[in-house]
Structure 1
Amino acid sequence: MSLIGTHVAVAGGLVKTGLREADEAGAEIIQLFAGNPRSWAPRAANPAADEAFRAGCAERALPVVVHAPHLINLGAPSELVLSRSLAALELTLQRASDLGAFAVVVHAGSSVTPGRRTTALAALPELISPLVDRADPSVRLLIEPTAGAGESMASTIGSTVEYVAALNDERVGLCLDTCHLHAAGEDLADPRLIDDLADAVALIHVNDSRDPRGSHRDRHESLNEGTIGLPTLAAFLAHPALAEVPMLVETPTHQRDVTLLKSITDKGTLTEFATTPKS
């Protein structure tokens, strides 16, 4: 069975806010930002807080994922943005190690300028592989395809396959987001959708979408309250390759949605969970 959990806030403290939210949601796994997701400036180090958080997670047997800042763009044409992105990602990998996390999630990035995607993809190995070489081997880097806006480097299944092939590093995995895939135009009910990526998927963000399929808009909605719906989410999660892949919700009603996801998996066979009334 997959571990099921949620993204938690930590602005009030890793333990006081983060672990409290985890406990309230009944989370079996959590994700957090180790700093301000919309700033290049790192959060001041607090080794005592890190140790207290690690101890609290160990007590709960609670795995941790760190989400990298949204500003990071591994396909940026600007040398300044690219250098800042690499520095921020390396720091995030270090912070994940400090916190005892097993993975860092980072968005796949945008090539920004039309026609640059091939060049940006070709540069990935020399950008990412050295970071992974220097990182704690217990922390795995996971690439998250985006919703397809702008010059996205990976959003659809096809473009993500190309991204993985260009990177060519088995140490780096994938985090798929159901809202992103839906917004990129993919049919989540297609039972063969992720066949070509199955071996690389290490984490799932399970989110409904406020916008229609193909909108390229990344706006999460509570499960079964958006344009994807619970039957389609259940069909997607029923893929055999996802049977033991951890799932995290990033929704405004995360406590309710963790409970809902657990109720689906308790059915034993996700595809049998055809309808669920909205709450």
Structure 2
Amino acid sequence: MSKEVSEEGQAHHGKDYVDPPPAPLIDTAELKLWSFYRALIAEFIATLLFLYVTVATVIGHKKQNAADQCNGVGLLGIAWAFGGMIFILVYCTAGISGGHINPAVTFGLFLARKVSLIRALGYIVAQCLGAISGVGLVKAFMKNDYNRRGGGANFVVDGYSTGTALGAEIIGTFVLVYTVFAATDPKRSARDSHIPVLAPLPIGFAVFVVHLATIPITGTGINPARSFGAAVIYNNDKIWDDHWIFWVGPFVGALAAAAYHQYILRAAAIKALGSFRSNPTN
């Protein structure tokens, strides 16, 4: 943050940072901007690359592990693939689209009024199409192994209940979306400017550690586009029966993270009430 902006924020807001204004609920003007469509393309390509690399890693591991129980990258390697790709792709696309690459992240940021409804819906469609395309490439390149090794699709693993799987997805997505809010908070950027925090790094690590905890339960969704793309291409009854968990869980987790960050940590409700009392309209 520049000195001029900091000084203006202190002078007019009594604080050393300035929150951006909330995004309009419906901003039709975005539909006329090339930057909007460029962002959609960025989200599509990023999600395609994310699914291609990660699902290929899962299939490759299962193939190697089936031949020799000591081969394959293991749970740790799969978690690194997911977390590392998110770090790379968020870093690459943050300046173009914000680097969401996940409908749950987009939903959480929409609830916090960081993006408009039109942009949120556009991002979610682009992400889902990118995910389908990415998994489609994996199937095209590794068809026999893809079909035999489960297609990298998410489902409730035997031994776990639907409630446990749903809870794991809610908590895992909460961790991710909470990290996104914390890493991109203008208040943190201003007050911790002496600490070189690269936002994609904690976001990637959040994905990594959540996968370590959740792979044994659901294979780890925490990203509806990731689960949807794999389900569409693999197209198995068991996968579709469990699929609702990988939309409801992440969206509930994102809702909880947005509410916690905005209304507890940032006290948005209290600030709004204070502003109303100091500037009554009646």
Query: If each structure's strand is expressed as a fraction of its own residues, which one has the higher value?
Result: 1
TM-score (norm 2): 0.26
Please give the TM-score of this superposition, normalised by the length of structure 1: 0.26
Kindly indicate whether structure 1 or structure 2 has the higher relative contact order, using CA contacts under 8 Å at least 6 residues apart: 2
Over alpha carbons, which structure has the higher Rg? 2
